Amino acid sequence: MVSQTVRNELKKEIKKSQDTIGSRLNLSPGESALFINGIYFDADVMDVFALVETLRAELRVMEGLHSVGVTETEWLGLLSLDFSSPG
């Protein structure tokens, strides 16, 4: 058996995320959701071609950022920005 201590702050953040996403997307416990850079794909009706096109578009954005000199550290910072409303 493996035992890992998880900080209460992390537990609270996970619970908050589950509640927020679950209520916004009408997901029940046990259901899955796929997000790519914040873009939601409904796994029940997902179009694999749309998924591949989204991945290509996201890659073009990253390549564009790289071509103008944005470093990996900087774009990782951009990807981790939280635009959700406080509360």
* Contacting residues for 78 by C-beta, under 8 A, at least 6 apart: 65, 70
Give the confidence band of 67 by pLDDT, cuts at 50, 70, 90.
very high
User: What are the structural domain ranges in the chain?
Assistant: 8-79
Percent of the chain residues topping a pLDDT of 70: 97
Q: Is the pLDDT of residue 85 over 70?
A: no
pLDDT class of 87 with cuts at 50, 70, 90: low
**Statement: residue 34 has pLDDT above 60:** yes
Plot region of 76 (φ>0 → left; ψ -120 to 50 → alpha; else → beta): alpha
